[in-house]
Amino acid sequence: MIDVAIIGGGPAGLTAGIYCMRGGAKTRLFEEMFVGGQIVKTHRVDNYPGFSNGPDGFELGAAFETHAKKLGLEIDYAPVVKLELTEDRKTVFLPDKTIEAKAVILCMGAAPRPLGIEREEDFVGGGLSYCATCDGAFYKGKTAAVIGGGDTAVSDAIYLSALCKKVYLIHRRDELRASEALRRAAFERPNIEFIWDTVVEKLEGEKSLSGLLLRNKRTLETRTLEVDGVFVAVGIVPRTELVRDLLELTAEGFIKTDVNMETSVKGVFAAGDIRNTPLRQVITACADGAVAATRAMEL
């Protein structure tokens, strides 16, 4: 039996790990792929206090990992395939073993939301991507479009504008949801063109994407926009597959927590993007992880 099992190695999970190690708790973090979470796909993190030069997300994630490992955090790179979570018993199932823990902290984060239109899956890797920093380099000197109006879409457009000849930002309204700082930075880029009040009706192309059929929501006019690539940034979906039937979730599917990050099951905590939170940033994920770890160690 260990004290704390942390599921997911993004900023929330790694911070929880740091606090647990400093608190002397027998802790293990489970990560199915690589640690760092969604920030490893971010080219600049400009709002993490103390880092005024805006480190790239990969560097910041690596710094969190180094810190946690230096304190002795053990990371199991294995997928958690099932969880059994009751007040009396918490079991983490891995492909080849099970682990019992006094407390569990869920930090699985969120994944990009698909656009939900025909042939979307067919074009993944053939002109359609959900990660500008991962795939942006393929469009160097070319024309790309970003769909969405939030922080992700606007920071993706800014990142791509340094690589691409032209970047279109296609948003379904006439006002961006993104923060003022990002909006300002995007409006200053001469090669970003904003296409307002517009939705993508169809992805065009044979094997790879060649264009987008757009519809203006006000005029209802349609037109084809030729692009070499499109980046979909229309929000996130929480990665709650393992706990959907075990914990209380919001209507949008995020895990409900109290101020201690405790979920509807005693001893089970959630931290970061996976939980119902008014702000999803690196700093709030870290703060959630710190609170959850501190409370988990009190059990």
Q: Which one of the spans 97-105, 118-126, 170-178, 221-229 is the region binding ligand NAP (CB under 6 A)?
A: 170-178
- Return the residue of 120, 280, 290, 294 that touches ligand NAP, per CB under 6 A: 280
Report, in Å, the least distance between residue 38 CB and ligand NAP: 8
Report, in Å, the least distance between residue 110 CB and ligand NAP: 7
**Dihedral pair phi/psi, residue 195, rounded to 5°:** -115, 105
Nearer to ligand NAP, 55 or 149 (CB): 149
**Dihedral pair phi/psi, residue 141, rounded to 5°:** 75, 5
Strands annotated E in 139-272: 143-147, 166-170, 192-195, 198-205, 209-216, 222-226, 229-232, 236-238, 268-270
Site size with ligand NAP, rule: CB under 6 A = 20
Contacting ligand NAP within 188-247 (CB under 6 A): 199, 233-236
Q: Is 15 an interacting residue with respect to ligand NAP (CB under 6 A)? A: no
- Return the residue of 43, 67, 142, 177 that touches ligand NAP, per CB under 6 A: 177
- The pairs formed by 211-219 with CB atoms below 8 angstroms and a separation of 24 or more are 212/145, 212/170, 214/170, 217/172
- Return the residue of 10, 150, 267, 272 that touches ligand NAP, per CB under 6 A: 150
The residue annotated as part of the active site, out of 3, 76, 122, 131, is 131
Q: Is 281 an interacting residue with respect to ligand NAP (CB under 6 A)? A: yes
Q: What is the Cα–Cα distance from 140 to 190, expressed in whole angstroms?
A: 16
The residue annotated as part of the active site, out of 20, 107, 135, 151, is 135
Q: Is 173 an interacting residue with respect to ligand NAP (CB under 6 A)? A: yes
Tokens 């792929």: give the residue: 33
245 is catalytic: no
Report, in Å, the least distance between residue 163 CB and ligand NAP: 18
197 is catalytic: no
Q: What is the Cα–Cα distance from 104 to 115, expressed in whole angstroms?
A: 33
Q: Which residues lie across from 104 on neighbouring strands?
A: 5, 268
Tokens 């407390």: give the residue: 103
Nearer to ligand NAP, 143 or 198 (CB): 198
Instruction: Give the Cα-Cα-Cα angle 291, 292, 293 (nearest 5 degrees).
Output: 95
Residues 239 and 72: beta-carbon distance below 8 Å = no
Q: Which one of the spans 78-86, 100-108, 149-157, 252-260 is the region binding ligand NAP (CB under 6 A)?
A: 149-157
Q: Is 148 an interacting residue with respect to ligand NAP (CB under 6 A)? A: yes
Residues 177 and 150: beta-carbon distance below 8 Å = yes
Beta strand 198-205 pairing with 98-106: unpaired
- Return the residue of 2, 23, 26, 47 that touches ligand NAP, per CB under 6 A: 47
Contacting ligand NAP within 74-113 (CB under 6 A): none
DSSP string, 230-269: EEE-S-EEE--TTTTTTS-B-TTSPBP--TT-B-SSTTEE
Q: Is 153 an interacting residue with respect to ligand NAP (CB under 6 A)? A: yes
131 is catalytic: yes
Binding site for ligand NAP (CB under 6 A): 47, 115, 147-153, 155, 172-173, 177, 199, 233-236, 280-281
Which are the catalytic amino acids? 131, 134-135
